[in-house]
Chains A and B, each alone.
Chain A
Amino acid sequence: MPASLTSPSSKGLRLYGSEFASRFLIGSAQYPSPAILLDAIAASEASIVTVSLRREAGNSKGAHKEAGEGAGQQFWSLIQQSGARLLPNTAGCKSVKEAVNTAHMARELFSTPWIKLEVIGEDDTLQPDVFGLVEAARILCAEGFQVFPYTTDDLVVAEKLLAAGCEVLMPWGAPIGSGRGLNNPFALRALRAHFPDATLIVDAGIGLPSQAAQAMELGYDAILLNTAVAKASDPVAMATAFAQAIDAGHRAFNAGAIEPRDMACPSTPVLGSPFWHADHD
């Protein structure tokens, strides 16, 4: 039996020692309403939902702290109704200090060691600042955080993040919100081949279910996306479409795809058959 059928990846998604049935992580921003967000989460069957807290929490240490544990508490409570586990992120942070502070705030607000670490280096592409990212990952891993770093598809950066203590890597497919799909499938394939044991999640840039399936067919463990569902004309239907594509891509990877070839290869043996019975299907 091929190794892929017995490897851990054919079971649930493993993240820092926990196992999850769904390989779809969904973002919670930009939906027409929280009600539609909850319906989309249900349709996605995602076990994990990302939440941003930088703007919603306001300056939680400041004088205007309201509504108990942060002014966005009501929205977060709504998301928690979905039953999904929350993955707080440091979206919008542009420096190590900001990201580390936001992670601390997230741990306090959500009582979780999980943090999706974003350190943005460039406004036009929202490209990760990989130097700041590695530094922030080192600090947070040392403090006991379980870090999910949003990174590029750069191998060397990936190595340094793993060395810092990350067990999960989240390379981009394309810039956040661009919907371009996998800009560099070659690099993503190389990353998968280099780190067969790390949990790899394509995060950002996915616009279509087929692109999500493509990433899963490359052997990625999961997909994280937000805009493609939230901004679709029908977010709930799109969430279902992505759930099915991610599942299909994962099953296809485990099933072991055939190698492409240049010439036709008849599926029915022709040897011994009269030539006028030869099939071409």
Chain B
Amino acid sequence: MRIEILGSGVSGLCCAHAFVERGCEVTVISASDALDSTCCSWWAGGMLAPGCEGENTEPLIASLGAESMAFWQSIAPDYATAGTLVVATSRDQPLLNNFARNTQGWQTIEGEQMAGLEPDLAERFNKGLLFSDEAHLDPRQTLNQLIDDLKNSGVKFEQGQIDDSPGNDYSSSELASDVDWVIDCRGLGARHHLTDLRGVKGEMLHIHSRDIHLSRPVRLLHPRIPLYIVPRANGVFMIGATMIESTERKHASVRSVLELLSAAYALHPAFGEAEILEIGVEARPAFTDNLPRLRRRGKTLSVNGMYRHGFLAAPAMARRCVAFALDGIIPTEVMDENTA
């Protein structure tokens, strides 16, 4: 069976993996020739935190997340299962109580335990919540590894723009005439096709510091945005991420960057001396309920609406996509359109 996948972000690559594993002939078509900064996945936090995300997401994300984590554990080169630590500044302690009330799977960490987990934070934070079942990975390293694996398995990668002007259906065009299924994983690139898709702008930073060591992602509770700092290799930290109802994806605002940096500084003043490596901005594709969807129109299967849960949802969505395309199994929990 011939499968063409549009988009080479985390959704497209996970779908390619799932189809090639079932013996399909897979081509990935992408606007860029490699994984780069034009893709949301490039800027992802790489946190696999279904417990923390449960604070304001439907249980579906947690169940997709559990499946996806097993997948990443089997392929990600630096998959780390150190959990997630959630803390709040003293004035924001009520936020910590709220967070605890709205989530499950945590244990309270106090005093000495904090010193054992994250010695650099123990002086400043004497209480936190540890979600010990959670994990994290480096998105860029992981996806580049996945691309190499896919190439070795015979997946072809082609660069090309898809004409998505209204009324133009790629899957019924000449270009896709000998393809059995077109799997559309373009995120916001498909928004003329999926009109209920919207953008949620996110800004993030990479900084470098040798003065601080963190063993796991730390969430610093903030009244408006989910702030987190994820340690990467070699003293690099990712700080994310704002959530703004906007499709704008080119410019990070001064205010957002200030907010992210002051969060890092509040976590530990030594971050004040860190080097800023990168400022990133993207718009996440989301449907109205912020949940991912599988939609079939003719021979096009759209996998979209990953919102802030690309890594948490993509492998599980890819499995459902393959089960539908090859075995006819309808994943009712994520499929809201099935038009032959």
Measured CB to CB, the residues of A under 8 A from B are 29-30, 32-36, 38, 55-59, 64, 66-67, 71-72, 74-75, 78, 177, 231, 233
Contacts and interface: CB of A to CB of B under 8 A. Distances in A.
Given A32-B57, A64-B251, A72 B98 contact: no
Contacts of B247: 66-67, 71, 74
Nearest to A59: B251
Given A71-B246, A72-B245, A233-B101, A58 B251 contact: yes
- Of the listed residues B56, B102, B223, B224, the one surrounded by the most CB atoms of chain A closer than 10 A to its CB is B56
A66 B290 contact: no
Nearest to A75: B245
Given A29-B224, A33-B289, A233-B101, 5 more contacts: A33-B291, A57-B246, A58-B253, A72-B244, A75-B198
Main secondary structure of the interface of A (DSSP, over half): loop
Interface of B: 56-57, 98, 101-102, 198-199, 201, 223-224, 244-248, 250-251, 253, 255, 286, 288-291
Main secondary structure of the interface of B (DSSP, over half): loop
- Of the listed residues B224, B247, B253, B286, the one surrounded by the most CB atoms of chain A closer than 10 A to its CB is B247
B288 A78 contact: yes
Contacts of A38: 288
Nearest to B290: A33
A38 B224 CA distance: 19
Contact of B289 (A35, A67, A177): A35
B284 to A, nearest CB: 12
A74 B253 contact: no
A33 B199 CA distance: 12
A109 to B, nearest CB: 13
A26 B129 CA distance: 32
A72 B283 CA distance: 11
A222 B290 CA distance: 31
B252 to A, nearest CB: 11
A72 B57 CA distance: 22
